[in-house]
Structure 1
């Protein structure tokens, strides 16, 4: 009787054409995946892959075997996930990606209570300012905004991603506060260059009445990270347009002031992303539900709304 690990390693390697890619999806090392496939081939007495330095290619026997077990493997994984959920004991490594400021400020403080409730879960949290490929890179969940939804990935909105204009009180001292987003062009601007396009994106802001206006902030200082934008603003170097969640504690402490309090730019939603619900492991479901409950309890959706002013 073959182990599930051997079968999973074979199927994911066939789907991705690479032991390394399969390893990322399974949260294993490439050597472990290769070893599992080799054991499967030895036990079956047939070669399933033709191996080269560049890629894996299924043999004729491998193609037949994949066609026979592909759907059955998914059904078996679903059954295991169902049983695990029913036990009420979520366990295992929980690999999650989140933006550094957001994760440190709002998610990390939840960890003690989360581990107290689910002691069998082992967090493997990655604080990174990029959109990860949940399935290919083996993540259980990711948190952030603006993710492209790949096949098999779903999202659950947590709060709005509203951008507001902020600066330090010291920078604004002696300067005329802007009355409209168009006035921001008269101030020193702190902007971010996209790592994807290499461009600086300028936002359109709106007010409570629905009036819209381009906020063309001057490109006095250019960085590539929202946290760096915030720090430059705290240092009194100019005005920045940032998501409320990234600046709320600094506004509440008085280190930053919000300009144009009735204007904001809508960048969508801050969401939690995870793989298809059908095969959702108990550990991932526990994490998603815990985060949603915490956001509701702390009224973060309301606090992050730039439209409130």
Structure 2
């Protein structure tokens, strides 16, 4: 019977494409991972990887073995985690990824109530405006919008992911408010640069009858963080396209106003992502249900809608 550690070292090495990266994710040494995989190959009597100084590639036997064991490994690990619960309650480290501004505004304030219900859960929350590889990086869940759904991951919809044009009221002290998308070409833009690609994010505007128009703002400055863009807009430096979750606080306290409120950007859906497992760890299920209920109670789906 092969040990769980040997099989996990094999699966993580296959996912990462190297023993050293698998070792980092498993908190082991590269040598320990390599020895576990070599022991597994010896016991199975087949070579699972083609090794070279620069690459680690699965053999045909390795690909077949990975397809057979990877799903079962996740199920067994979930079962072990659930058995490790304290007094029948969800327990363990809960590794979650979320955007910096969104997480600080909407999720961190829930922490006290969540831990009061589940004191044996230890949050390990990562605030980063990037798309993570949930399976490879070992995240239990992630919150984000506009993502393609990767294999092995499912999504629980929370709210529409809409973007709106915003500016400070004093920005229009000496200039006319734009009425139609073509008017935007006469205005300074605070543009958002994607942290993943480094490119300026460009989305078409749409209205309630689904007409679409490009955004033609003059580039006055670029930011990689939506909250920084809101702060710059608040100073009267231009018009910014901001997601509703990031813009809502500024709109509700009147520091920013919507520009051309009949027009918005449809980025997709804000969702909770977690791995597709038959036996979801109790800690992950507790978090998912808690966040979904909070969104329902606070009517955040409606508040995040630009329509």
Structure 1 length-normalised TM: 0.83
Confirm or deny: 8 A CA contact 1:93 1:122 kept in the other structure: yes
Partner of 2:96: 96
Deviations 1:42-88 (A, max 9, x none): 79986977876545578999899879866764553464466568974
The residue aligned with 1:189 is 189
Of residues 171-180 and 121-130 in structure 1, the stretch that sits farther from structure 2 once superposed is: 171-180
Partners of 1:21 and 1:137 within 8 A in 2: no
Shift of 1:249: 0.6
Deviates more, 1:165-174 or 1:188-197: 188-197
In 2 relative to 1, CA 111–155 (structure 1 residues): closer, same or farther, beyond 3 Å? same
Q: Partners in 2 of 1:161 and 1:248 — Cα distance?
A: 12
Q: Residues 117-148 of structure 1: CA distance to partner in whole angstroms, max 9, x if unpaired?
A: 11111111111111111111111111111222
Conserved? CA contact 2:129–2:195, under 8 Å? no
Could you say if the C-alpha distance between residues 42 and 186 of structure 1 is closer, same or farther in structure 2, counting changes exceeding 3 Å? Answer: closer
The aligned residue for residue 141 of structure 1 is 141
Q: Which residue number corresponds to residue 259 of structure 1?
A: 259
Quote the offset at 1:91 in angstroms. Answer: 1.5
Query: Does the 8 A contact of 2:86 with 2:120 survive in 1?
Result: no
Partner of residue 28, structure 1: 26
Residue 236 of structure 1, CA deviation? 1.0
What is the SS of the residue equivalent to 1:260?
Answer: coil
1:294 equivalent in alignment to 2:294: yes
- Retained in 2: the 8 A contact 1:19–1:30? no
CA gap of 1:275–1:176, structure 2 versus 1, over 3 A, is: same
Distance (whole Å) between structure 2 residues aligned to residue 140 and residue 12 of structure 1: 16
Structure 1 residues 85 and 50, CA gap change in structure 2 (3 angstroms) = same
Distance 1:41 1:89, change over 3 A: farther
Contact 2:9/2:37 (CA < 8 Å) preserved in 1?
no
- Say if 1:2 and 1:40, in contact at 8 Å, map to a contact too: no
**Structure 2: 5+ residue runs without aligned partners?**
none
**Secondary structure class of the residue paired with 2:163:** strand
Is 1:205 aligned to residue 202 of structure 2?
no
Deviation of 1:222 (Å): 2.0
Q: TM-score, normalised by structure 2?
A: 0.84
**In structure 2, distance between residues paired with 1:180 and 1:234:** 22
Cα deviation for residue 175 of structure 1 reads 2.3
CA distance in 2 between counterparts of 1:71 and 1:201 reads 36
1:236 aligns with 2:236: yes
Cα distance in structure 2, aligned partners of 1:272 and 1:241: 23
Root mean square deviation, CA, Å = 3.4
CA distance in 1, matches of 2:11, 2:132: 22
Give the Cα–Cα distance (whole angstroms) in 1 for the partners of residues 263 and 61 of structure 2. Answer: 63
Residue matched to 1:277 = 277
| Structure 1, unpaired ranges of 5+ | none
Which sits farther off after the overlay, 125-134 or 195-204? 195-204
Aligned-partner Cα distance in 2 for 1:110–1:202: 33
